[in-house]
Amino acid sequence: MSRIGRLPISLDGVEVKLADGMVTAKGKRGEAFYPLPEGITAKIEGTFLHLGRADDSQDQRRLHGVTRAEVNNRVLGVSKGHSRSLIVQGKGYSAEVKPQALDMQIGFSHRVVAAIPAGLVVEVKPGQNEFTLTITGNDKHLVGAFASTLYKLRKVEPYNLIGFRYSDQQVKRKAAKSVVS
């Protein structure tokens, strides 16, 4: 058995329906769907969802773990939601959330406007010479993709830590360059 695939998925506060190879999860934050791949089966036992596979072929073993992770992400998304935080550091950097857009001044000669995808909520918490962007939503892929798009606008540089960095990212700080005489 797959170490990930055999783990049960807790359904606390989430209503799950299985029909025609489709898993439908409905919770307080919305509804999510996931089509089961061929050979992967699902059954509900009490407050847990268990996934099984048809045989022990390499493809089935691979799909077993991936499917369990995807279904678990859908269940967590409709019950608790997913979030990602970015710390943006730099003198004069600022951001403002407008309807369906994030308007930022991040050290370029112009303001950068990033369209916020449907289903995501962005919060800005200002600080001194930095601010924190918190991206929340039901779809883990969408939250991560938008955070990655923002991160690529201005990656953190290792000398002064100016730019975007994830809240859990460890940046190895480099010493300033020195002149040899």
- Assess whether 111 and 69 both reside in one domain: no
- Assess whether 90 and 47 both reside in one domain: no
Q: What is the C-alpha R_g of the chain?
A: 21
Residue 117 lies in a domain: yes
- Assess whether 86 and 162 both reside in one domain: yes
Contact 76, 123 (CB under 8 A): no
Q: How far is residue 165's CA from residue 27's CA, in Å, rounded to a whole number?
A: 31
Residue 177 lies in a domain: no
- Assess whether 48 and 106 both reside in one domain: no
Residue 176 lies in a domain: no
**How many domains does the chain fold into?**
2
Residue 158's pLDDT is what? 92
Residue 90 lies in a domain: yes
- Three-state secondary structure call for residue 84: strand
- Assess whether 67 and 97 both reside in one domain: no
Residue 37 confidence class, pLDDT cut points 50, 70, 90:
very high
- Assess whether 109 and 71 both reside in one domain: no
- Assess whether 74 and 103 both reside in one domain: no
List, in order, residues 6 or more apart from 116 with CB less than 8 Å away. Answer: 97, 100, 101, 102, 122, 146
Is the pLDDT score of 130 beyond 70? yes
- Three-state secondary structure call for residue 145: helix
Contact 40, 53 (CB under 8 A): yes
Structural domain range at position 149: 82-166
Residue 177's pLDDT is what? 77
Residue 178's pLDDT is what? 80
Contact 42, 18 (CB under 8 A): yes
Residue 60 confidence class, pLDDT cut points 50, 70, 90:
very high
Q: How far is residue 41's CA from residue 134's CA, in Å, rounded to a whole number?
A: 36
Q: How far is residue 64's CA from residue 58's CA, in Å, rounded to a whole number?
A: 10
- Assess whether 71 and 100 both reside in one domain: no
Q: Please give the structure tokens belonging to residue 38.
A: 């061929």
Residue 21 lies in a domain: yes
Residue 1's pLDDT is what? 54
- Assess whether 95 and 48 both reside in one domain: no
Q: Mean pLDDT throughout 146-158? A: 95
| DSSP per position, 93-118 | -EEEEETTEEEEE-SSSS-EEEEPPT
- Assess whether 38 and 59 both reside in one domain: yes
Residue 76's pLDDT is what? 96
* Residue 89, domain CATH: 3.90.930.12
Contact 98, 83 (CB under 8 A): no
Q: How far is residue 73's CA from residue 111's CA, in Å, rounded to a whole number?
A: 34
Residue 129 confidence class, pLDDT cut points 50, 70, 90:
confident
